[in-house]
Structure 1
Amino acid sequence: MLTQPTKKNNSGFTLIEMLVVVSVLGILVSLAGHHHTRVLKKSQDASVMIELNCIRNAVHQFALDNMGRFPQTLDELKPAHLKNLPKQWRGSSGSGCYFYDSVEGNVELYDASCSKPAEQTDQGGRKYADY
């Protein structure tokens, strides 16, 4: 008795097709990861600028409330003018402390040693000390 040959089921993907799909997906993921990192760094720099502006606004509000007198320290701003006073700033490519000049009422970003203005640059190439 003769048996009929069984039909092969050729459905599915070949190894080459799978490799192409996986490599394309890998390229897309790497591009998305790079973009995500860049956006994260920009948001860190924006956060530093926003915190600095909040502290500066609180200093000026204090002066308005106290007949032009600036606070002796930034701690005097709490809690009436500033709820939380950050001790350190951290940007995408640098960190440090806030320097306060009580005579002029200026608040600036200093480097991690708190001895000189921050020379590091943000993602846009601008020095943190110039914020």
Structure 2
Amino acid sequence: MTMRTRPAGLLLAVLLSVSACAGDADPEEGDSTYKPENDVTVTQLRVETTAKGRVAKASYRIRNDGPDPLTYTVVLSFLDTDGNAVTTRELEKRVGNDAVYEGTLKVPWSDRSASSGARVTDVSIR
């Protein structure tokens, strides 16, 4: 009786093909390690005095490296010197595919409060 064996190269090609398909998971289907909060970065925070009082300004960047336009809903927290959230603000921005949007969010800031920064506390996409 003659036994036929498949070449090891064919088995390797099949395994690599299955592995490559798993890497192409759709982030919106929840089956990948993609996290939308990684698309949003606070790039600068400054506290300024204006004619109407002090304001905190957080500059941010939203980067959409995906193939489709996405609408981002972002929550930014403005922090006191101890790192606690003093106030939060929500913004919504549509960002085109393979595009970057940069903006600034302003909030009134108490004369007595110093700031240690701002952070992204929540991001959702649709």
TM-score, length-scaled by structure 2 = 0.36
More strand by share: 2
Structure exhibiting the larger radius of gyration computed from Cα positions = 1
TM-score, length-scaled by structure 1 = 0.35
Q: Which has the higher contact order (CA 8 A, sep 6+)?
A: 2
More helix by share: 1
